[in-house]
Amino acid sequence: MGLLQIGVSAQQNPTIALPKIGIDVGTSDSPQDISTTLQLLLLLTVLSLAPSIMIMTTSFLRMIIVFHFLKNALGTGQMPPNQLLAGIALFITFFIMAPTWNEVNDHALKPYMDGKITMDSAYNKGIEPIRQFMFKNVRDEDLELFVGLSSTTRPETREALPTFVLIPAFVLSELRAGFIIGFFMFIPFLIIDMMVASVLMSMGMMMLPPMMISLPFKILLFVLVDGWNLIIGSLIRSFN
């Protein structure tokens, strides 16, 4: 009986409305249409480059480098997984960058969405807090390097420095800071490896891998000193 009712309903409503999405490419004589098309292409380009922008202009780069150094120093293999480390670095980046992004939202994004300012003005106001964050964490030596390589006139003030020069200098500074922190993290774990290796050699156990014995001691040391709290706290305080 139920099947008959379904069949009758299907006969009474033979067509079912389905959504249709299409993109048309045609010609236009209106400058306004051309401007809208260019804005749409620009928006799609920015969205496709969003992960790179997220990595290169925020604290994410230093975080992920230090976390990978930590995993290699512990010698735990695939624990914690790379996806977990990336997620931790991402949320800590949200925490560090929250004041900067709130300023971008208040002074650039909201006024532009409300139609109070133009796109050019929104970009200029939105990029300024990000530039201030990068200036606080970039080295003068890296800035001088890329200013010289860019073959541009030496700017008198930081406001005159182009953003395309500031970003690679900031990336280079973050790489250096991440490697320095990673080096100092390796030292205590390296001492444990050397002590275990020397004890095993003195006992004549040369066939026993030292990493197998030192791994529990390194994990125990990391837990006793509250390693995650110490490292993450130090990383957050390392940003100006």
Alpha carbon dihedral 200, 214, 175, 78, in 10-degree steps, equals: 130
**What's the pLDDT tens digit per position in 105-164?**
888 778 777 777 777 787 778 788 888 888 888 888 888 888 878 777 777 777 777 878
Please, are residues 232 and 129 in contact by the beta-carbon 8 Å criterion? no
pTM above 0.95, yes or no: no
**What's the pLDDT tens digit per position in 92-113?**
888 888 888 888 888 877 877 7
Please, are residues 173 and 135 in contact by the beta-carbon 8 Å criterion? no
- For residues 209-215, average pLDDT: 72
| Residue spans per domain, the chain | 52-184+227-237
* pLDDT over 70 (residue 182): yes
Task: Give the integer Cα–Cα distance in Å for 158 and 240.
Answer: 17
As to burial, measured by CB atoms within 10 angstroms (0-12 exposed, 13-18 middle, 19+ buried), residue 68 is middle
